[in-house]
Amino acid sequence: MTRLLLLRHPRAALPVLLAALALSMSACHSAASASPADAPGHAVVVSVIDGDTIVVSLAGRHEHVRLIGVDTPETVDPRKPVACFGPQASAFTKHLLVAGTVVRLERDPESRDVYGRLLAYVYREPDELFVNLELARQGMADVLPITPNITHADTFRAAVDDARAAKRGLWAACSAFGVPATG
């Protein structure tokens, strides 16, 4: 229709072309000026609850996020004692994800756990550090594959096996995963 309008009435088509051009430029400007935290799947860390649970600001609201595929020793469950290496694992996650850090969240088929927490693989921006995997590599977590969220289960298992063999983190400090802290 615009082409017909241009051919028959070139001056009448000018406002239509200008509006289309302005709309196009506005869309480009909006995409260029959007912050990484505004992009789909991106969030900003608000706080760290423990080694495998964080709070993020996502789409204007706070969400508790449980890192998929890994399990750090317990520190905050009132029904369980603080586990060996739990405080160190929590401190490590706090070191990786200080408040204000932009993260990219990737999901697997199951989006929430029974506690309503968002389930995600967490990547720190801008260096793309895969936080779930880093916890496993450094001996801060054991592997916790829960079907159907098993996309990286083999990778996490290999990282935990390597950390255990090298006696990194909790594998050097604790007799087993999840045992109560001593002292």
3-state secondary structure 15-73: HHHHHHHHHHHHHHHHHHHCCHHHCCCEEEEEEEEECCEEEEEECCEEEEEEECEEECC
pTM: 0.79
Does the structure show a pLDDT above 70 at 35?
Answer: no
Cα–Cα nearest to 56, from 117, 131, 128: 117
What's residue 118's pLDDT?
97
Which CA distances in Å does 7 have to 12, 17, 18, 19, 114? 10, 13, 16, 18, 63
Does the structure show a pLDDT above 60 at 130?
Answer: yes
Per-residue pLDDT, averaged over 105-118, amounts to: 96
Per-residue pLDDT, averaged over 158-176, amounts to: 97
Confidence of residue 40 (pLDDT cuts 50, 70, 90): low
Per-residue pLDDT, averaged over 129-143, amounts to: 98
What's residue 29's pLDDT?
37
**What residues act catalytically?**
66, 74, 117
Does the structure show a pLDDT above 60 at 33?
Answer: no
Averaged pLDDT of the chain: 85
What's residue 182's pLDDT?
78
What are the tokens at 117?
Answer: 């927490």
Confidence of residue 145 (pLDDT cuts 50, 70, 90): very high
Does the structure show a pLDDT above 50 at 2?
Answer: no
Cα–Cα nearest to 159, from 183, 146, 141, 182: 141
Instruction: Identify whether the C-beta of residue 53 lies closer than 8 Å to the C-beta of residue 66.
Output: yes
For tokens 């990282």, what's the residue? 159
Does the structure show a pLDDT above 50 at 34?
Answer: no
HSE (CB half, 13 Å, CA atoms) of 11? 0
What's residue 38's pLDDT?
54
Pick the CATH number of 38-173 from 3.60.20.10, 2.40.50.90, 2.40.50.140, 1.10.10.10: 2.40.50.90
What is residue 121's three-state secondary structure?
A: strand
Higher pLDDT, residue 41 or 150:
150
Domain boundaries, the chain: 2-33, 38-173
Which CA distances in Å does 93 have to 55, 101, 140? 12, 12, 9
What is residue 173's three-state secondary structure?
A: helix
pLDDT digits (tens, 9 = 90+) for 41-99: 899 999 999 999 999 999 999 999 999 999 999 999 999 999 999 999 999 999 999 99
Gap between the Cα atoms of 172 and 85, Å rounded: 10
Does the structure show a pLDDT above 90 at 21?
Answer: no
